[in-house]
Amino acid sequence: MMERAKNIYFLGIGGIGMSALAHYYLLEGCNIYGYDRTPSPITDRLASEGAHIHFDENPDIIPQDIDFVIYTPAISKEHKEYLHFLQKGTPIYKRAQVLGMITDRYSTAAVAGTHGKTTTTSMLAHILNDERNTIAFIGGIAKNFDSNFVLHPNPEIAVVEADEFDRSFLTLHPEIAVITSMDADHLDIYGSKTKLEESFNLFAAQVSGTVIANEKIAPLISHNNKLTYGFAPASDCHATDITPHENLTDFTIHYLDEPPIRITIAVPGTHNALNATAAYAAARQLGIAPETIRAKLATFSGVKRRFDYQIASPGLVFIDDYAHHPEELRSIICSVKEIYKSKKLTVIFQPHLYTRTRDFAHEFAEVLGLADKIILLPIYPARELPIQGIDSQYLLSLIGNNNKIVLEKDQLLAHLAKNKPEVLLTLGAGDIDRLVPKIKELFEK
């Protein structure tokens, strides 16, 4: 059925994972139709490649001969178009199901984890791209490819970001997997950290070859063929002598009993040295030579919205990042403070989801308090309805640092114009990215 399909409909086509599948099927010669809530650079690009996209719930304009539908869990089951397809009896698949069916055709390397997975996936795809015929599905726009999707004409290996949300990664059956982290998250789905860890172990059980696990969570992962990575000398693959710079990071990798190798990556941050160490271990397990990995990591140019420099001038540094979990915020804030020790850091944070804000309010407050100034935007609801008493004002009240404020999005530019920061960091997984070009334009003027 899916192999013979010509007309495919996407509900939520602008999502990062959904759009990668849309790119795949466009290149397969299929006719792609889809709905999303708002236009974006992603939907603009898909439209330029031939996809037919609209932005209002309107079953009347959907073609009659749709072979099957792919939807994201962010789409409500009450969505008019979802109900239309349900009533028609059109086959409907979750994004994760389709990704699993596609990658089952190839030897697969998957990267899972509550944070760090997008950069690590991008690094691994970049390392493998010229060495092995690669198809890759990435949860962000990798700058080396200017895309979240990579396709060699004759792919032999799939590199895929394995998403734990809604247990999506349980549709994958990789040969090799990296697990970067297992912090409590998506508690609206899992209910508890224990249930989240159980799901990661179910994922690990589906890995036929090697599981490469961060040293911090490796004891929690059960697998017969497990490698550890991190900063500790006891780990199978570990980084030492890390030297952070403004635009790059130097460090030494020690992999099993092989000679140590000095690595330079063209992205800043100790956390990126850790991501590169994971990618190095995975590439070595796949038979890529150490010198080849070193050369490829030296030309890795990062991921959009991951430690993404917008301005780097003597008067102002402006960095944008997708971080939306307390540990992700800690990682990026600490890395920026390490690089710019003598400068004041202003953080603009848009909390993502009412449930996440509620579940981690004190953790968010503690880590945001590390900044010199904190600006909170209203919570981005995504798929959720408001929760009484949970808003940005509540989160602000918990932050110990007194240099803090809540602003509406339309108040932000005027505030920044009057209060120019030294180092500015925009953080969040909602629509804060739409403000980034406007902030950049403000300061470049």
- Segment (H or E) for 151: strand 147-151
Backbone angles phi, psi at 79, to 5 degrees: -60, 135
Backbone angles phi, psi at 37, to 5 degrees: -70, -40
Location of structure tokens 């996407």 = 10
Catalytic residue among 43, 134, 161, 171: 161
Q: From CA 159, how far away is CA 131, in angstroms rounded?
A: 13
CB atoms within 10 A of CB 194: 10
C-alpha dihedral (341, 347, 352, 353), degrees to nearest 10: 110
Q: Which residue out of 43, 81, 108, 117 is catalytically annotated? A: 117
Q: Is 117 marked active-site?
A: yes
> Are the C-beta atoms of residues 335 and 307 closer than 8 Å to each other?
yes
Paired with 10 in beta bridges are 34, 70
Choose, from 72, 103, 108, 118, the residue flagged as catalytic: 118
Round to whole Å and give the CA distance between 156 and 435.
40
Other C-beta atoms closer than 10 Å to the C-beta of 383 total 12
* Contact indicator for 427, 350 with CB cutoff of 8 Å: yes
- Structure tokens belonging to residue 437: 């070009």
| 445 Cβ neighbours under 8 A, 6+ residues apart | none
Distance, CA of 217 to chain centre: 19
* Beta strands per DSSP E along 72-194: 92-94, 107-112, 134-142, 147-151, 157-162, 176-179
Give me the phi and psi of 223, to 5 degrees please. -165, 145
Q: Taking a C-beta distance cutoff of 8 angstroms, is the pair 266, 247 a contact?
A: yes
- Enumerate the active-site residues: 117-118, 161
